[in-house]
């Protein structure tokens, strides 16, 4: 046995490879990877043990997982997410165009809107919408519609206004960044071809801005799906509120929170996959090879795992 001075040089195999033969070196050892893996696994085990010890009636979760009320709550959560995002994106595009316009009045109004809605918590906004009846007794749209504020402002409308108008402020900034990211030469080339401002925006600038706009918008959708849980505070029966109700009646509060968390996780996971495909669509023409789809990525990871030499630890 030779003395092991340098760990990177293996003690065995002293004959150097002659000519362009494939190198058969002993790989670098990473002992700390094993150590950190063991620590991480121990901590994980402790957490799992703690939860297994606690008095949680795990059986209640599958019992209620596909309960009619839960499914109804899931659908309402999805509906609220989609509608709020539609309001948010439409409002955001409008505000972004207003902010970029040369008219100082419209751009200041847009600035003020964004300042206000981004600067106050969405929960506070929800309560304000819900209780505006204290200020306006009636809602009066002339001959079209007239009613008490309290019966006009249903939980659904409160939730939609609260979440949608708040989202518009964030979407406005995302859209503005996207529009500004497109090279000015594109607008010039389009104008030089005789295309109008609107056509330039619609056909040339916006499709390119989408590459910058889509990834953060995907994040916003996922965020929105989770933020909808706040609307239980204004008596809207979304997934969270339904789960809470069942939990209180059946005496399994914590279990139902776990159930709700599982549903939220499932929905956000599905959304992340969808986001990937939309990003691929808008990446066309920008990179020579399109990024892998999630499935291709998983496949590639599996292959690299099985092909990986045994030296790599599990950190």
> Which chain residues interact with another protein by CB under 8 A?
183, 185-186, 188-197, 199, 203-204, 207-208, 284-288
CA distances from 78 to 5, 227, 263 (A): 62, 12, 11
Would you tell me how many other CB atoms lie within 10 Å of the CB of residue 66?
A: 9
Could you please report the per-residue DSSP string of 2-43?
Answer: -----TTS-SS--SPPPSSPPP-PPPPP-HHHHHHHHHHHHH
> With respect to another protein, which residue has the nearer C-beta, 175 or 204?
204
Q: Identify which of residues 207 and 291 has a Cβ nearer to another protein in the complex.
A: 207
> Which residues neighbour 12 within 8 Å (Cβ) at sequence distance 6 or greater?
26
Minimal distance, residue 4 CB to another protein, in Å: 52
Give me the residue label for tokens 């040369």: 102
When the beta carbons of 157 and 195 are compared against another protein, the nearer one is: 195
Taking the complex as a whole, the smallest distance from the CB of residue 106 to another protein amounts, in Å, to 17
In the complex, the smallest distance separating the C-beta of residue 154 from another protein, rounded to whole angstroms, is 42
When the beta carbons of 155 and 178 are compared against another protein, the nearer one is 178
Q: For another protein, give the closer residue by CB, 287 or 306.
A: 287
**Nearest in space to 171 (alpha carbons), one of 99, 274, 121:** 99
Q: Residue 24 or 102: which CB sits closer to another protein?
A: 102
Question: At closest approach, how far in Å is the CB of 281 from another protein?
Answer: 11
Minimum separation from the CB atom of position 246 to another protein (A): 49
DSSP class of residue 228?
G
Nearer to another protein among residue 63 and residue 188 (C-beta): 188
Q: Which is nearer to another protein, 9 or 188 (CB)?
A: 188
Distance, CA of 158 to CA of 208 (rounded, Å): 35
What six digits make up the tokens of 176?
Answer: 């503005």
What is the smallest separation between the CB atom of 183 and another protein, expressed in angstroms? Answer: 8
Task: Decide: 265 and 257 in contact? Cβ < 8 Å.
Answer: no
Compare residues 199 and 226 and give the one whose CB is closer to another protein. Answer: 199
Closest distance of CB 290 from another protein, Å? 11
CB of 16: closest distance to another protein in angstroms? 44
Question: H or E stretch including 148?
Answer: strand 146-148
Contacts of 231 (CB under 8 A, 6+ apart): 80, 126, 155, 158, 159, 162, 163, 238, 241
Q: Are 129 and 55 in contact (CB under 8 A)?
A: no
Rg (CA), the chain: 28
Taking the complex as a whole, how short is the minimal distance between the CB of residue 160 and another protein, in angstroms?
33
226-258 CB burial, b ≥16 within 10 A, e <16: ebbbbbbbbebbbbbbbbbebbeeeebeebbeb
């Amino acid at each position: 046995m030779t003395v092991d001075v340098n760990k990177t040089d293996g003690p065995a195999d002293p004959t150097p490879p002659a000519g362009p033969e494939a190198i058969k070196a002993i790989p670098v050892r990473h002992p700390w990877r094993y150590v950190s893996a063991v620590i991480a696994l121990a901590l994980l085990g402790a957490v799992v043990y703690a939860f297994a010890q606690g008095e949680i009636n795990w059986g209640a979760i599958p019992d209620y997982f596909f309960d009619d009320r839960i499914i109804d709550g899931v659908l309402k959560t999805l509906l609220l997410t989609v509608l709020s995002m539609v309001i948010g994106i439409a409002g955001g595009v409008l505000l972004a165009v207003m902010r970029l316009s040369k008219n100082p009045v419209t751009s200041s109004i847009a600035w003020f809107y964004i300042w206000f809605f981004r600067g106050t918590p969405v929960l506070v906004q929800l309560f304000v919408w819900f209780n505006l009846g204290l200020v306006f007794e009636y809602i009066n749209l002339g001959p079209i519609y007239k009613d008490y504020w309290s019966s006009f402002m249903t939980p659904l409308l409160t939730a939609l206004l609260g979440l949608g108008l708040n989202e518009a402020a964030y979407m406005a900034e995302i859209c503005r960044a996207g529009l500004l990211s497109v090279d000015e030469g594109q607008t010039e080339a389009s104008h030089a071809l005789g295309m109008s401002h609107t056509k330039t925006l619609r056909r040339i600038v916006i499709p390119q801005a989408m590459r910058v706009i889509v990834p953060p918008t995907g994040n916003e959708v996922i965020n929105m799906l989770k933020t909808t849980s706040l609307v239980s505070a204004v008596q809207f029966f979304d997934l969270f509120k339904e789960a809470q109700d069942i939990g209180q009646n059946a005496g399994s509060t914590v279990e139902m929170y776990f159930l709700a968390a599982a549903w939220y996780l499932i929905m956000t996971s599905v959304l992340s996959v969808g986001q990937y495909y939309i990003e691929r669509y808008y990446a066309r023409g920008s990179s020579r090879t399109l990024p892998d789809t999630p499935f291709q990525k998983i496949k590639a990871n599996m292959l690299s795992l099985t092909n990986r030499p045994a030296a790599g630890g599990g950190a």
